[in-house]
Amino acid sequence: LQFSLTAPLCLLTLLLLPLSLGAPISPAEPISQAYSLALYMQKNTSTLLQTYLQYQGSPFSDPGFSAPELQLSSLPPAAVSFKTWHALDDGERLGHAQGAFLALTQHLQLVGDDQRDLNPGSPILLAQLGAARLRAQGLLGNMAAIMTALGLPIPPEEDTLGVVAFGASAFERKCRGYVVTREYGHWTDRAVRDLALLKAKYPG
Amino acid sequence: MALFSAFQTTFLLALLSLKTYQSEVLSEPLSLAPESLEVSIDSARQCLHLQWSVHNLAYHQELKMVFQIEISRIKTSNVIWVENYSTTVKRNQVLRWSWESQLPLECAKHSVRMRGAVDDAQVPELRFWSNWTSWEEVDVQSSLGHDPLFVFPKDKLVEEGSNVTICYVSRSHQNNISCYLEGVRMHGEQLDPNVCVFHLKNVPFIRETGTNIYCKADRGDVIKGIVLFVSKVFEEPKDFSCETRDLKTLNCTWAPGSDAGLLTQLSQSYTLFESFSGKKTLCKHKSWCNWQVPPDSQEMHNFTLTAENYLRKRSVHLLFNLTHRVHPMAPFNVFVKNVSATNATMTWKVHSIGNYSTLLCQIELYGEGKVIQQNVSVKVNGKHLMKKLEPSTEYAAQVRCANANHFWKWSEWTRRNFTTAEAAPSEAPDVWRNVKSVQGHCVVTLFWKPLSKLQANGKILFYNVVLENLDRPSTLKLLSIPPPANGTELTLDQCSYQIRVTANNSVGTSPASIIAVSGDPGNKEVEEERVKGTEDGFCLSWKPQPGDVTGYVVEWCERPGDPLCDLQWKNLGPDTTSTVVSSDAFRPGVRYNFRIYGISTERIPYLLEKKTGYSQELVPSDNPQVLMSNLTSYSFTLSWKDYAAESQPGFVRGYSLYLKSKAARCLPGSEKAVLSDDSICCKYKIDNPKQKTFVVENLQPASFYEFFLTPYTSVGEGPQGAFTKVTTPDEYSHILIRVILPMIFSILLIMILCYLKSQWMKEKCYPDIPDPYKSSVLSLIKSKENPRLTIMNVKDCIPDAIEVINKQEGTRKSLTETEPTKPTYLYLLPTEKSHSGPGPCICFENFTYNQAASDSASCGHVPVTPKAQPQLGLLTSSENGPKALGKNYVNSLGEIPAGETNLNYVSQLASPMCGDKSSLPTNPPEPALCSEYKTQMAIPMGLASPPSITLLDEGEHDH
């Protein structure tokens, strides 16, 4: 069953969602919501990265700073070959994104804590990091809804950070925050593409 | 008990073993070497911690030992540190020693060894070094992991200005590594192929969040760095001080040093330690701390305040006696009691500061803008009598206390306000009067000045005025006048009264002010003197009065000109002969009049002198209206009698007259002056201010002058005004007037007469048609030869000829060409009647005149000239004369159309022309038919040369 629903009805359906568990739901609606959220997130990712770098001092705050080889083992990179990406099935696609945003929410929490320690006098940065984390959590929820709608199994929540996070030096924490905010942007970009693809596949 | 016996046994055993040991030592020296040396690393602090023990000691043996420690870097031969560490050693005691490395320990391999020696006076024979321990190697690099690049030290915290050594450890030999401090490349020294060291000297504080130092490889994207946290130098607390208010709690305060500049890494802690009690407290606040004094503690306290952060510890000390640092509590139960007009009592209580201590209390009394301060010693209850207070006055009293024996600080003030009671007014009101005589009555206006607050001693409720008639002493009259009235007007039947004025408040009456009014109002004429005022006022002086004078009064109006002139007066003592009257109300340019009165013993004022003056004279405000009179050729008179010199804002000292003329020189009595518009003129100075006329003399006749008059005061002249223009008359004009005027009058008279008698005159002198009988010619003729000759009578004239002109076309000729053409004349023969007269009737024409008349195409009288034309022939009248033409004119057409045969009628002037005036033609013919009227006059034959006269054809001659 495919309905063309207006936005208020859509919201109503969302509200009624807990009451109508088990009822078959169209994937188009959560896909659309997730897509909208991802688009909204995409608009703010570069601002977050720039704000973050600005507060870290040189070399991070130097114009044109980029260190693509800096990676975090705990955070899956968003970069993937187009062929591989295109060949992913819905379950894999959503699974990758789900895993990445789960890791990102945890990492953004860590980076927020780090920055509260390193840059306590920068409420703007702390607010932006907090907002990014909440959005990532929102997108996670949306993706779970899609997976439910598509009948896919939802992967369990894992602790992606492990125990290595606390021994890092100040500079390492700055680097870590850079990688997290950068990857948050990359994963958001990828999520927009993922959801666009799904949207095309499951039109409302 | 069992424990004690065990301890005793152990002690005995130890003593035994020591004796054994000593005997052994004495026999064979035994080296005491450090053993079990272990080295550990504290990376965060860049410290090497050493621990070891000395095994060869006897039980319970304590020896002073010195340990020599060597530290080498990279290789054992490169010893970078040697230190002797002295300590007391027990058997199997673990000894510890730490060393902080400037170079991060990760940057190079370090090796440590040590040896020991006994440094104890008990066993001087053991003073030699033991063998070195083996080198203990510390190599952190090997445990770093597999990252390609490391930078050390991590998160180091240093003070501003300190020196820091930084290194990187690279795993790759090929890569060139460059390192930057805040984006600026650093240059270091290669410690080994993989390690490079950078020495930073005198590091600056950049920001609270630390300084980034990072290294990166040329190839690849490897970035590694550290954050160097540089804090500001931690300062010691300032102004550390403690005090108590109740001897139970001490409050210690201090000013913390400037912020270390790091947000979280360098938290400061403050600790208060008292050495006598050995107590310590960690202060919760950054700048103060409370310390509980134990009830039975000693009075002396020795405090140490320790401020501490990660890098540094700072201490300040303070030794004091508790009783010397008492800051008492503010007094309480403060009351002001028994408040009278001049006294009040203040009571209060203080908190005790020990059993035998005395407090010094300070009382301040504020009132009437003054402060009175007094000190009182108090145990518990304080009491102070405040004396010499002013009645009816608000006061504020406050009290504070301090330790009398050892002053430390005053307590806070406790304040109370109170108002003293009223008392009777202390001074008589200052009274003055003004006496006028109105319709036989004496109108006395009394004035008095309100009593000052100090004199009134309370609220004045009314003023009592008692009038005592001096002629009838028993008669009293009482008036009660409430404030705010400061005067009253009394109408007295006569002027011999004594007036007493008193001021009354709720408590009593003031002394009376007495003034007498006599029958003589005292306004006798006194010469007014001028005084010169200054900014400070008017300095008035007067002659001392002989006889009894109880005082003087100077009186003046502050607003002269105002009906309520704001009368002021000043009382002066009998010995005074001068005073300065000053007032803020005095204005420049206002004339103030002062009257000086003497007060007799009977309290009667009498006028002594009058003064007048300006506090500041100004230039005159306006110029007089000048009238000019008596203008002659040489002088004129100016007058300005209406000018009010008295109302000018200064004494008019005279007048300046400016006279402008074309003459280059000024007249005598004047001098040259330059006006404000740079024009030059002559100035006459009139020094007498009472002179209000001036004669300007020695002027030039028929000259133009301009004058301008302005008064002047001591400050200057009046405003520049317009000049009045005047021109002196000509010298002869008056003579001319005397001649010409009568002449004009006479002529006018004659003309009027002539006009009135014009008819008569006309008849007499120039009749329209002269009466030949009346003509002088006639008399001339008569007087001469022919008495018979008479004037031709009109009826004697008969028209006698008609002329028909047959004129040829184009035969117009000028007058001069008379001969060639001969006009065809019809000759009229004279009738018989023409002979009836004394002579033939002759008409003739004056050609000369006729031509002119003809040219103007008008008719006119033609004067007769006695000349006759030679060709004139006598015209005879024809029978075919046109009878239709009844008019007696000689018609002559101006133009005759060519080829026409005109019939010109030429009539001889008929008889009506002669003598009959009523038949004179009044209507001349129409211009188109302009006929030429030819005056004809009968001329006696004797005067005309040819006997016959022909009427000429006009067309022949005129056209």
CA of A66: which chain B residue's CA is closest? B221
Q: Residue A62: its chain B contacts at CB < 8 A?
A: 183
Residue B515 and residue B511: Cα distance in Å, rounded? Answer: 13
Predicted pLDDT of residue B715: 85
Q: Which of A59, A67, A117 sits opposite B180 (nearest CB)?
A: A59
Predicted pLDDT of residue B223: 86
Predicted pLDDT of residue B791: 58
Residue B88 Cα, gap to closest chain A Cα (Å)? 39
Residue B761 and residue B329: Cα distance in Å, rounded? Answer: 141
A60 in reach of chain B (CB within 8 A): yes
CA of B207: which chain A residue's CA is closest? A57
Residue pLDDT, tens place only, B581-591: 888 888 888 88
- DSSP element (H, E) containing B776: helix B776-783
Residue B336 and residue B419: Cα distance in Å, rounded? Answer: 10
Judge: A175–B208 Cβ closer than 8 Å, yes or no: no
CA of B183: which chain A residue's CA is closest? A58
Predicted pLDDT of residue B779: 60
A58 in reach of chain B (CB within 8 A): yes
DSSP B917-941: STT---SPPPGGG-----------T
Answer for the pair B359, B402: CB distance below 8 angstroms, yes or no: yes
Judge: A58–B182 Cβ closer than 8 Å, yes or no: yes
DSSP chain A: ------HHHHHHHHHHGGGGTTS---THHHHHHHHHHHHHHHHHHHHHHHHHHHTT-TTTTSTT---TT---TTS------HHHHHH--HHHHHHHHHHHHHHHHHHHHHHHHHHHHH-TT-HHHHHHHHHHHHHHHHHHHHHHHHHHHTTPPPPPP---STTGGGG--HHHHHHHHHHHHHHHHHHHHHHHHHHHHHHHHS--
Question: Mean pLDDT, chain A, as a whole number?
Answer: 85
Predicted pLDDT of residue B600: 84
- pLDDT band (50, 70, 90) for residue B854: very low
Higher pLDDT, B679 or B855: B679
Residue B899 and residue B806: Cα distance in Å, rounded? Answer: 9
Q: Which of A58, A59, A119 sits opposite B209 (nearest CB)?
A: A119
Residue type, B45: R
Residue type, B186: M
- pLDDT band (50, 70, 90) for residue B209: confident
Higher pLDDT, B51 or B7: B51
Q: Residue A52: its chain B contacts at CB < 8 A?
A: none
Residue pLDDT, tens place only, B290-323: 999 888 888 899 999 999 888 888 999 999 998 8
Predicted pLDDT of residue A193: 94
- Helix residue ranges per DSSP H, B121-197: none
- DSSP element (H, E) containing B20: helix B2-27
Beta-carbon pairs below 8 A across chains A and B: 63
pLDDT at B11 > cutoff 50: no
Residue pLDDT, tens place only, B614-664: 888 888 888 888 888 888 888 888 888 888 878 888 888 888 888 888 777
Judge: B227–A58 Cβ closer than 8 Å, yes or no: no
Question: Mean pLDDT, chain B, as a whole number?
Answer: 77
pLDDT at B178 > cutoff 60: yes
Q: Which of A58, A169, A171 sits opposite B183 (nearest CB)?
A: A58
Closest listed residue to residue B40, CA positions, set B114, B131, B107, B105 = B105
Q: Residue A171: its chain B contacts at CB < 8 A?
A: 151, 154-155, 212, 214, 224-227
For B19, phi then psi, to 5°, come to: -65, -40
Predicted pLDDT of residue B721: 82
Residue pLDDT, tens place only, B416-434: 999 999 888 988 888 888 8
Judge: A57–B263 Cβ closer than 8 Å, yes or no: no
Residue pLDDT, tens place only, A85-111: 999 999 999 999 999 999 999 999 999
B151 in reach of chain A (CB within 8 A): yes
Answer for the pair B682, B651: CB distance below 8 angstroms, yes or no: no
Residue B958 and residue B475: Cα distance in Å, rounded? Answer: 134
Among the ranges given (B200-204, B340-344, B690-694), the one the predictor scored with the smallest mean pLDDT: B690-694
Predicted pLDDT of residue B719: 85
Q: Which of A58, A169, A174 sits opposite B154 (nearest CB)?
A: A169
pTM to 2 decimal places: 0.52
- pLDDT band (50, 70, 90) for residue B443: confident
Judge: A171–B211 Cβ closer than 8 Å, yes or no: no
Predicted pLDDT of residue A96: 93
- pLDDT band (50, 70, 90) for residue B918: very low
C-alpha separations of B88 from A72, B64, B861 in Å? 52, 4, 181
Residue pLDDT, tens place only, B603-626: 888 888 888 888 888 888 888 888
Among the ranges given (A196-200, B258-262, B359-363), the one the predictor scored with the smallest mean pLDDT: B258-262
Quick one: average pLDDT of A28-56? 93
Judge: A58–B223 Cβ closer than 8 Å, yes or no: no
Residue pLDDT, tens place only, B16-55: 444 444 444 444 456 678 888 999 998 888 899 999 988 8
> What is the CA angle B168-B169-B173, rounded to 5?
120
Interface test with A, best of B156, B227, B228 (most A CBs within 10 A): B227
B224 in reach of chain A (CB within 8 A): yes
The residue written with tokens 């038949």 in the block is B919
Interface test with B, best of A52, A65, A69, A169 (most B CBs within 10 A): A169
- pLDDT band (50, 70, 90) for residue B802: low
- DSSP element (H, E) containing B16: helix B2-27
DSSP B807-824: PPTT----TT--SSS---
Residue B153 and residue B106: Cα distance in Å, rounded? Answer: 8
DSSP state, residue B430 = E
pLDDT at B865 > cutoff 80: no
